[in-house]
Amino acid sequence: MAAKKYNAAVLGCAHIAVRSLIPEFFNSPRFNLAAIASRDPGKARAAAERYAGVSWGTYEQIIHDSGIDLVYIPLPNSMHYEWTMNALEAGKHVLCEKSLVTEYAQAEGITAFARAQRLLVAENFQFRFHSQHRWTLDALAARKIGEVRMFRSSFGIPPLPADNIRYSKELGGGALLDNGAYPLKALQVILPGYNFTMKAATLRYGDSGVDISGGMYLDCPEGIAAELAFGMDNFYQCNYEIWGSIGKITANRAFTAPPGFRPRIIFETADGVENMEMPADNHFANMLIHIAGCLDTGDFEGEYAQNLRQAAYINRALELASATVERR
């Protein structure tokens, strides 16, 4: 018997939605792309008309449509909490773009409500579902680099046009929530068995009032150090490196390997260097299969825990960085 398909609606014709998630929902074996919403009815209609059978409307109309199971929210960060809660109150499961919240208390509120209503809230870090990381996780489990000593990860991009949402304080912009969230998430995905505590964070602010670049330092009781760096006025970097007692693993396109692209993993030991081209994969499609699997089982605790942990780290980075700024 074919697996059940869930009806999904998209809230806002964001770049990420138009470029990636709308086509992936449309082509997914586990979702029907049912509706697209926009502040501008013309935009919603134009986006919907590119896909057979997709309806369109306002955000309010779409979340109250009784045929919709899950709402995908690719709005600016400052709107994630409000529209996640609106969708939950309307009885919908939610896939929300990163960063899910701008304050830890919002993550607690979302989780308590979602849990009480038995609804899923997942934060969209699709890189979690790229098969290149399976190679790294298997290599770590097989102790191919011995004991882990250090985790380093960077995600930085060159400047964007000045009117981009990432430069707006009001819209929840800033490099920490946009780019820094990835190395933080990667630490949890690649070294999931460790309890890292954040010890230091630095944010550099630009004229727009949002943080433009920064770094974080964490460690854990086993003595592993983690250095994370990010920015949106930077030479492009999208990597992680795990340095062990007898080797090192580096992934150079860790977060944004598009469907069809073959990322490389470099594995170094005293015996030599292997520069491996990994298979291409579609992390968007894999993520939708994972989300549908959560809906099939009704087990949402794993996603809730990840949402809370990520929000707690972001909160801690903001606290530590503001203390640094005050000391300058």
Give me the residues that bind ligand NAP (CB under 6 A), please. 12-16, 38-40, 43, 74-77, 97-98, 124, 126, 165, 171, 178
Q: Which of 136, 160, 313 is nearest to 239 (CA)?
A: 136
**H or E, element range at 162:** none
CB of 143 to ligand NAP, least distance (A): 32
CB of 304 to ligand NAP, least distance (A): 19
- Residue pair 212/243 in contact (Cβ under 8 Å)? The answer is no
DSSP symbol at 39: S
CB of 115 to ligand NAP, least distance (A): 23
Q: Among residues 148 and 292, whose Cβ is nearest to ligand NAP?
A: 292
CB of 18 to ligand NAP, least distance (A): 8
Q: Among residues 28 and 244, whose Cβ is nearest to ligand NAP?
A: 28
Token pair for residue 175?
Answer: 């490099």
Place of tokens 């499609």: 285
Place of tokens 């779409």: 62
Ranges of beta strands (E only) in 174-290 are 197-205, 211-219, 225-231, 237-244, 247-251, 264-269, 272-277
Q: Among residues 178 and 241, whose Cβ is nearest to ligand NAP?
A: 178
Single out the catalytic residue among 98, 144, 185, 248. Answer: 98
Q: Among residues 76 and 206, whose Cβ is nearest to ligand NAP?
A: 76
Q: Among residues 95 and 148, whose Cβ is nearest to ligand NAP?
A: 95
Q: Among residues 17 and 145, whose Cβ is nearest to ligand NAP?
A: 17
Token pair for residue 77?
Answer: 């960060």
CB of 268 to ligand NAP, least distance (A): 29
Contacts of 181 (CB under 8 A, 6+ apart): 98, 99, 125, 310, 314
Q: Which of 124, 212, 210 is nearest to 171 (CA)?
A: 210
CB of 168 to ligand NAP, least distance (A): 7
- Residue pair 94/84 in contact (Cβ under 8 Å)? The answer is yes
**H or E, element range at 193:** none
4 is catalytic: no
Contacts of 177 (CB under 8 A, 6+ apart): 77, 98, 99, 102, 314
- Residue pair 214/205 in contact (Cβ under 8 Å)? The answer is no
Verify cis geometry, omega within 30 degrees of 0, for the bond prior to 99.
yes
What positions carry a catalytic annotation?
98
